Chain A
Amino acid sequence: MQQSLSSKRLLQQKIGFAVLGTAAGIVLVSVAILLFFIVRRGLPIMSWEFLSQPPKRGMTEGGFYPALVGTFLLGVGAMLFSLPIGVMTAIYLSEFASAGRFTKAIRTGVNTLAGLPSIVFGLFGFAFFCKVLRFGVSVLSGALTLGVMALPIVIVTTEEALRAVPTSFREASLSLGATRWRTTVKVVLPNAVSGIVTGAILSMGRAVGETAPIIFTAATFYTRRLPKTPLDEVMALPFHIYGLVTEGVFPEKQLPIAYGSALTLVMLVLILSGAGIYLRYRTRRKRIW
Chain B
Amino acid sequence: MAKYSIGAIASVSLLMLLAITVMLFANALPFFGEYSLADFLFGNRWHPTQEPPNFGLLPLLWGSLIVTVVAMLFALPLGISSALFLHGVAPTKLREILKPIIELLGSVPSVVYGLFGLTLLAPFFQRLLSLPVGQTAFVAGVALALMSLPIVVSVAEDALDSVPKEYGSASLALGATRWETLMRVVFPSARSGIWAAVLLALGRTIGETMTVLMVAGGAAQIAFTPFKPVRTMTAAIAAEMGETPQGTLHFHALFGVGVVLFLLTFIINLIANKYATKSFK
- Which residue numbers of A lie inside 8 Å of B, CB to CB? 9-10, 12-13, 16-17, 19-21, 23-24, 26-28, 30-31, 34, 37-38, 84-85, 88-89, 91-93, 96-97, 102, 105-106, 109-124, 126-128, 131-132, 148, 151-152, 155, 179-181, 202, 205-206, 208-212, 215-216, 238-239, 241-242, 245-246, 255, 258-259, 262, 265-266, 269-270, 272-274, 277-278, 281
Within 8 A of A (CB), among B190-209: 200, 203, 206-209
A9-B180, A266-B108 known; A116 and B262 CB under 8 Å? yes
> A120: which of B116, B213, B258 is its contact (CB, 8 Å)?
B258
- Which residue numbers of B lie inside 8 Å of A, CB to CB? 2-3, 6-7, 9-14, 16-17, 19-20, 23-24, 26-27, 77-79, 81-82, 84-86, 88-90, 98, 100, 103-105, 107-116, 118-120, 146, 149, 153, 177-180, 182-183, 200, 203, 206-210, 213-214, 234, 237-238, 241-242, 246, 254-255, 258, 261-262, 265-266, 268-270, 272-273
A34-B116, A245-B115 known; A118 and B209 CB under 8 Å? yes
Q: Is the interface of A mostly helix, strand, loop or mixed?
A: helix
Q: Is the interface of B mostly helix, strand, loop or mixed?
A: helix
The 5 lowest CB-CB distance pairs between A and B, nearest first, are A117-B207, A209-B109, A115-B269, A23-B81, A13-B179
A111-B273, A258-B115 known; A117 and B208 CB under 8 Å? yes
A-B contacts, CB under 8 A, total: 252
A109, A122, A179 interface centre (most CB from chain B within 10 Å)? A109
A206-B107, A255-B119 known; A26 and B13 CB under 8 Å? no
- The CA-CA distance from A21 to B81 in the complex, in Å, is 8
Using CB atoms, name the residue of chain A closest to B232.
Answer: A119
Q: Are B13 and A109 in touch, CB under 8 angstroms? A: yes
Q: Are B108 and A269 in touch, CB under 8 angstroms? A: yes
- The CA-CA distance from A123 to B17 in the complex, in Å, is 13
Q: Are A37 and B23 in touch, CB under 8 angstroms? A: no
Q: Are B7 and A102 in touch, CB under 8 angstroms? A: yes
- The CA-CA distance from A115 to B100 in the complex, in Å, is 22
Q: Are B81 and A20 in touch, CB under 8 angstroms? A: yes
12 A-B pairs within 8 Å (CB atoms) are namely: A28-B98, A85-B9, A96-B6, A109-B17, A119-B261, A123-B258, A127-B26, A211-B110, A215-B241, A242-B111, A265-B109, A274-B104
Q: Are B111 and A209 in touch, CB under 8 angstroms? A: yes
In the assembled complex, which residues on chain B have CB atoms less than 8 Å from the CB atom of A12? 177, 179
> B89: which of A17, A102, A123 is its contact (CB, 8 Å)?
A17
Q: Are A89 and B13 in touch, CB under 8 angstroms? A: yes
A34-B116, A212-B209 known; A23 and B109 CB under 8 Å? no
Q: Are B255 and A127 in touch, CB under 8 angstroms? A: yes
Using CB atoms, name the residue of chain A closest to B21.
Answer: A124
Given contacts A212-B110, A242-B210, A262-B111, 9 further A-B pairs with CB under 8 A are A16-B183, A27-B78, A112-B266, A128-B19, A205-B107, A212-B209, A212-B210, A241-B111, A269-B107
